[in-house]
Structure 1
Amino acid sequence: MPEQPIVGLIHIGEHQPSAQFLTKQLESTGYSVKQYDSDEIAAMDLSIQTFILNLFDNDLNIDELIHHLNEREVKIIFNDARISNELVGWNKNRWLRHVLHKIDQSHELLPESAGNADVNSSSVDLSQHGIQAVWILAASIGGPESLLKFLSEFEGDEPLLFLIVQHMDSEFVSMMEKQLNKNGQIGVKLGQAGDDLLPGQAILVPVDEDLIIHANGTLGVKNINPNRMTTPCIDDVCFDMLENLNKVNMAVFSGMASDGIVGATNVFENGGKVITQSAESCVVSAIAEEIRVLNMSLFDGEPAAMAQYIKESLIA
């Protein structure tokens, strides 16, 4: 088995939370990380080709360190820890992808290592994290109102993980997260790299990243498909989740688009359940109607009835 590539992480000042977050993500994507303080020049591994300098104390003199690294012609990435400590959500995802992309310019997505090939494989088993079923909740026009009614029907302790794919522009993400949390039963959180996946939780899929699930039950992010039709893209989310998990399910709510038809087909053909919101309870029923025409919907009803169907499927 090939050895894992090594990245050096040098702390300029106190060790910071963002550095430990970055270390965790590097390790989850197949890298080995060796950490040093700025005065440990003599102890640094001479085989490391890439070093991240995590800058927190700007008063420390690091001239000798920079000279030492330059002499060895290694790649140096400077990270402002005071800024990265404060990043959350989409900005934190973007920062992570930017750093990882610099480490290996040949990768368009999050770097992978042959030494850790199962990180994003279909063998991810979420049952060990208390999650029995994953449901992709797909929605567009009229979706937020339907999703609120749907989520409010749960107790919040069901062994379910929801992934919400709501068509929207990036400026509405924060507002959407707050609005959907008004359901009062299921916590809704914007998907962020490093988050632990928990039962009774709903992850709002970001607009500007695609999500992956690591074998340790945490979220990762990767670059979006540049040819996607919508933001976020239902079809792409279905494809990504089926690459990570053996099976996912899909509930289709109010919406007007063709995005979601291919995704529903993939879910259905891989043995997952597909259910739809009834036409009379939708603002627009274009996506759900196409799925009904294709005879893929196992249940059709208003949002509260859809929630009841999912709860009963757990008992069954």
Structure 2
Amino acid sequence: MASRCGRPTVAVVSDSVLQRHRLQEALAKFGLAGGFSGDPSRLLVYSPLPDAQLWLITLEDEADHPALFDHLLGNTDAPVLFGVDPAPRPGGTDYFRWERRLQHKLEKHLGSLEELDSEDSLEELASTDPAPADNLELPHWITPGAKDRPAEEVWVLGASLGGPAAVKDFLDHLPAGLPVGFVYAQHIDGNFTEVLTRVLGRHAHYRLRHAEEGMTVNNGDVVLLPVEHEWTFTHQGTLTEKATPWPGPYGPSIDQVLLNVGDHFGPRCHAILFSGMGNDGAIAAPLLRAHGGRIWVQDSASCANSSMPDSVAETGCTSFTGTPAQLARELVKTIEESCLLKRRHQRDSA
């Protein structure tokens, strides 16, 4: 039975209260409705069983509950997943990998779980005028970046559901001339990329460009990565397409984008994770932070779905959280401070 919101209902059976709690948290992150949740002895009193489209079973020792399996199989036609791996402690790489494995198992029975922006929502966004923003002049201390020159610093913009609106708002609040480039990894149906181009292609300050073989990320670029195949950088700093698809269920894989951009730019690679479902980015973001990159996330209240930025924040690697407009202002402030430090260093060295 589907929930009132149209999402599948999943029931959880475990003899561990902690495991039931962690499974329910993961199901909520995937947008699934929670149904029955309890230990085996509680389930045995039900006949018929509570409605559910899928049953998840994780037990410390299956031999301790011999009647459970017959009771389940004799009273439901819904799929039953036995032996779900115990969830590790949240916030670490092992936990996020466990979530990915669970997601893969769930999608085998329930289909794709991640909600993406619809074509109608993108068309509506494309028809809106850019929001008026204050203080869009480039600060005096920032030397404008030449648009035909490769960017010294690259920021990865990672997003899923609600991402186009958030990234558009972010770009609307940036002044022209910032000496940075952007690589944009957006989970989206590949058929809607042209609509996405119209959404973000109206910015005079920042040029939306589709990734092409041999392209460099220049100042003022927002390079949109395709969803079909993985892209990386050559030793010369140019984009190149691989013959293999992105790893994971959705493209572009934000984790893989962070790794690929970070491999080339090192501490000059930073990331902002915007609205989205799931936990894409939570595995690679701490690695990027350990190599000197900045990791920022959109705040929960301004997200259409906050699961993705919340997951990254749970790793403890983030240094700033805010609305898209606040993230834009913080970026300008950060670049201004960096330029001031460089000028002081040059003055002291003279």
TM-score, scaled relative to structure 1: 0.56
Taking the TM superposition and a 5 Å limit, the aligned residue runs for 1:217-296 are: 217-225=237-245, 227-247=247-267, 248-296=269-317
Do the aligned partners of residues 184 and 145 (structure 1) sit closer, same or farther apart at CA in structure 2, a change above 3 Å counting?
A: farther
Q: Whose relative contact order is higher, 1 or 2, with alpha carbons under 8 Å and at least 6 apart?
A: 1
Decide whether the 8 Å contact of 1:153 with 1:185 is kept in 2.
Answer: no
Taking the TM superposition and a 5 Å limit, the aligned residue runs for 1:64-143 are: 129-143=149-163
One-letter code of the match for 1:312? Answer: K
One-letter code of the match for 2:334? Answer: S
Taking the TM superposition and a 5 Å limit, the aligned residue runs for 1:156-195 are: 156-195=176-215
Identical aligned residues as a percent = 25
One-letter code of the match for 2:291? Answer: N
Match in the other structure for 1:151: 171
Decide whether the 8 Å contact of 1:275 with 1:300 is kept in 2.
Answer: yes
* 1:246 match: secondary structure: helix
Q: CA deviation at 1:246?
A: 1.8
> How large is the Cα RMSD of the aligned pairs?
1.8
Match in the other structure for 1:9: none
Unaligned runs of 5+ in 1: 1-127
**In 1, distance between residues paired with 2:283 and 2:168?**
25
CA displacement 1:140-189 (0-9 Å, x = unmatched): 00000000000112223111010010001211122212211134431111
**In 1, distance between residues paired with 2:237 and 2:253?**
22
TM-score, scaled relative to structure 2: 0.51
Decide whether the 8 Å contact of 2:228 with 2:245 is kept in 1.
Answer: no
**In 2, distance between residues paired with 1:244 and 1:298?**
22
Decide whether the 8 Å contact of 2:228 with 2:246 is kept in 1.
Answer: no
Match in the other structure for 1:311: 332
| Alignment partner of 2:222 out of 202, 207, 212 | 202
CA displacement 1:73-102 (0-9 Å, x = unmatched): xxxxxxxxxxxxxxxxxxxxxxxxxxxxxx
Match in the other structure for 2:108: none
**In 2, distance between residues paired with 1:267 and 1:236?**
11
CA displacement 1:36-80 (0-9 Å, x = unmatched): xxxxxxxxxxxxxxxxxxxxxxxxxxxxxxxxxxxxxxxxxxxxx
**In 2, distance between residues paired with 1:159 and 1:224?**
32
* 1:211 match: secondary structure: strand
Decide whether the 8 Å contact of 2:258 with 2:285 is kept in 1.
Answer: yes
Do the aligned partners of residues 269 and 229 (structure 1) sit closer, same or farther apart at CA in structure 2, a change above 3 Å counting?
A: farther
Q: CA deviation at 1:275?
A: 0.5
One-letter code of the match for 1:300? Answer: T
| Alignment partner of 2:318 out of 292, 297, 300 | 297
